[in-house]
Amino acid sequence: MAVDFKGHRYNKSLILLCVRWYLRYPMSYRQLEEMMTERGIEVDHSTLARWVLKFTPQLESEFRKKKKPVGNSWRWDEMTLKIKGKFYWLHRAVDSDGDTIDFLLSKKRDLKAALRFLKKAVRQHGVPSRITADKSGANAAGFKELYRQIGGRIKLRQNKYLNNIVEQSHRLIRRMTRPMMGFQNFWSARTTISGIEMVNMIYRDQMKNGGESFAKQFESLAA
């Protein structure tokens, strides 16, 4: 389904520019509003927030259709995010080159969340040959259930010292979310994180694009 810009006062190019900048560079909505004002464009920070939350899911849906394949050796880890004073878990996985495989924000760190994340990643990329994870019991249980459901074919390696590459990639999320001053609810956090991950994947050349620039690739999602 094409990204729908009908009914908006501002043109498509400006909306995409604002969404891209917010998801690429560490800033708050008020800082982005100030940047637009300096360029002679009056747009309220609340409008900017609505644009990000409305268009990010549509853009991500288009991106997933054009995402490049990833390696078959996955590194899987979680990091915590605070939403209205409570900690939530962000599951993330990268391949041996550091390219993002998938991500999932969950309210709990348990078997169900681990299995949901693994199934999401497998639906997009197929079954890997090996998954490296820390020694979390929940993750091991989720892996065992996936192993049972697909009839084997994956090796699990549990060693936190071999997971540096995914732990280092968490820095992007921490760097981007720090100036955002926290999330108001689970839905806005999940949507914003998915946008940050998507834009980072485009920047890392994980999109089938024919050699276009980062900005052109992003804009092509709404073509």
* pLDDT at residue number 24: 97
Structural domain tally of the chain? 2
Spatial separation of the C-alpha atoms in residues 214 and 199, rounded to whole Å: 9
Whole-structure pTM value:
0.94
Q: What pLDDT is recorded for position 135? A: 86
pLDDT of residue 48: 97
Is the residue at 119 inside a domain? Answer: yes
Are 59 and 132 found together in one domain?
no
For residues 91 and 17, state if they share a domain. Answer: no
Per-residue pLDDT reduced to its tens digit, 51-62:
999 999 999 999
50 domain residue, yes or no? yes
If asked whether residues 47 and 133 sit together in one domain, one would say no
Tokens, residue 55: 């268009």
1 belongs to a structural domain: no
What pLDDT score was predicted for residue 11? 92
Pair 121, 93: CB distance under 8 Å: yes
Q: 79 with 139, same domain?
A: yes
CB 83, CB 187: distance < 8 Å: no
Assess whether 19 and 33 both reside in one domain.
yes
Domain contains 201: no
Q: Which tokens hold the place of 152? A: 């084997």
Tell me: do 90 and 165 sit in the same domain: yes
Task: For residues 104 and 136, state if they share a domain.
Answer: yes
- Note whether 142 and 87 are same-domain residues: yes
**193 half-sphere exposure, CB direction, 13 A CA radius:** 28
Q: What is the pLDDT of residue 151?
A: 79
> CA angle at residue 140 from 134 to 145, to 5 degrees?
150
Q: What is the pLDDT of residues 190-214, one digit of tens each?
A: 999 999 999 999 999 999 986 789 9
Distance of alpha carbon 32 from alpha carbon 38, whole angstroms: 10
Q: Which domain holds residue 136?
A: 73-172
Residue 45 lies in a domain: yes
Q: For residues 2 and 59, what is the distance between their CA atoms, to the nearest angstrom? A: 9
Residues 6 or more apart whose Cβ sits within 8 Å of residue 161: none
Decide if 3 is inside a domain: no
How far from each other are the two terminal CA atoms of the chain, in whole angstroms?
Answer: 11
Give 207's DSSP letter. Answer: B
Residue of 86, 7, 19, 72 lying closest to 222 (CA atoms): 19
Same domain, 129 and 104: yes
Same domain, 38 and 77: no
Please enumerate in sequence order all residues whose Cβ is within 8 A of that of 150, keeping only pairs 6 or more positions apart, or say none.
Answer: 122, 127
Per-residue pLDDT of the chain (223 residues; tens, 9 = 90+): 678 888 888 999 999 999 999 999 999 999 999 999 999 999 999 999 999 999 999 999 999 999 999 999 999 999 999 898 899 999 999 999 999 999 999 999 999 999 999 999 999 999 999 999 988 899 999 999 999 998 777 899 988 777 888 988 999 999 999 888 778 899 999 999 999 999 999 999 999 986 789 999 999 999 8
pLDDT at residue number 210: 66
Q: Are residues 163 and 213 in the same domain?
A: no
Residues 150 and 85 in one domain: yes
